[in-house]
Amino acid sequence: MLFWFLIFLIARQSGLTQGHPDLLARVPTEASCDCTVNSCRTLFDIVWGCLATIFACTWVALHQNVPDLELGWFSLLLRKLKMMLVTIIAPEVVVAFAGRQLVSALYISKVIAEFNVSKRHGFFCTMGGFISEECHPIANIKQLPVYMPAIQAIHEEDIKDRSKGDTLSKGVALAQGLWFVTQCAARVSQHLPVTELEVATLAFAVISTFIRVLWWSKPLDVQRPIVVVRSEVDPLQDVTPTNYRPYLFDWLNNVLFGQYDEYSPLSSTSVPSFYSIPTAHGIMNFAGVYGVATIFGGIHCAAWNALFPSTVEMWMWRMGSVFIAAFPVLAIFLRIGVSVDNLNIISYGFIYIGLVVYILCRLILIALSFTTLRALPPSAFVDVNWSKYFPHL
């Protein structure tokens, strides 16, 4: 509710400061930033602050699955860059992924009482952290009972020691995103405009908060798995492994909904990038992909009445924001239609076409976030007067 209230205030404030929609065609009536009266910020300060926050919300916040042992440093870098790109274009997908892994970790540690392991053990299982003697990941719920005695013998601190991030580092990264949200709230309270780039960055900061909370107990950047010995025959040994090569539509289902129906742990030496041990996490898919996407688009709608360099850019921003916020709601009805009638092909067709349009809208909003910087109103360079809240600063 606090985030939605902040969005309302930003939209209201931008509406109060809006003049003619074609900013380049009018003479500015706002006072310029006078450093003798108030503190000022430069265009570099705006861009650098936003890019640093986006980096913290994408690169630093990502808790990847354990990679293949044979991958070199360059392949590992490309692997993380790909996931970072997905996070920038569709961060709600990563929220859903984090939610699925949290549900899987809780299912392993809490629901299956006889396992008696910690939530960090559950995360390590679902991220492919345990492998068999044949170097195959233990990534199926049927495999866990025969490997659980060896998994239980591994101390939680040993798993925690493999993580590249501790509570302090994760807390600092989380605080950076919350600090950016605080700055935006302070600008609104002092009737200072928030740029389109800052609105887009605010959306990343809010979504990143969901990701960090969901992945709080997940080890960060683990490079090497732990080999465990099974107590009896692996139940998947009698299943013929298949070479897992997903097609485009299958890949979308994998990334969006975590549906890896054709994947077999015996067919690879690591789990896919967006894999989590399948459990009853259908609700998390809807909450992650659809609900968070609506929040993400709604935050962009906060700049509805902001100052834009041209009318075309203003309407491009508005239409892109509305589509991102509305498409998830439409997708929910289409998914419901798939389950109650025979319009599977038509419904899925609309969903996949909508995904293409969604990606285009996201790219347009990213581009507009930077193109609008060429003609900011003078008051956008006035910095927050923190002495109003902290008199001794």
Q: Report if residue 15 sits inside a domain.
A: yes
Surface-to-core class of residue 337, CB atoms within 10 Å of its CB (0-12 exposed, 13-18 middle, 19+ buried): middle
Q: Report if residue 254 sits inside a domain.
A: yes
**Overall size of the chain counted in residues:** 393
**pLDDT tens per residue, range 69-107:** 888 889 888 988 988 888 888 888 888 888 888 888 988
Indicate the number of domains in the chain: 1
pTM assigned to the model: 0.80
Dihedral sign of CA atoms 15, 291, 203, 26 in order: negative
Question: How does DSSP assign 72-108, residue by residue?
Answer: -HHHHHHHHHHHHHHHHH-HHHHHHHHHHHHHHHHII
Query: In which domain, by residue range, is 261 found?
Result: 2-28+38-382
What is the reported pLDDT for 319? Answer: 93
Q: Report if residue 324 sits inside a domain.
A: yes
Q: Report if residue 391 sits inside a domain.
A: no
Regions of the chain short of the pLDDT cut 70: 1-38, 113, 166, 238-257, 280-289, 332-348, 391-393
Q: What CA dihedral angle connects 213, 217, 223 and 229, to 10 degrees?
A: -150
Angle between helices 43-58 and 73-89 (to 10 degrees): 110
Q: Report if residue 390 sits inside a domain.
A: no
Residue 148 has, within 13 A of its CA and on its CB side, a CA count of 17
**pLDDT tens per residue, range 140-197:** 888 888 898 899 999 988 898 888 876 777 777 778 778 888 888 888 888 888 999 9
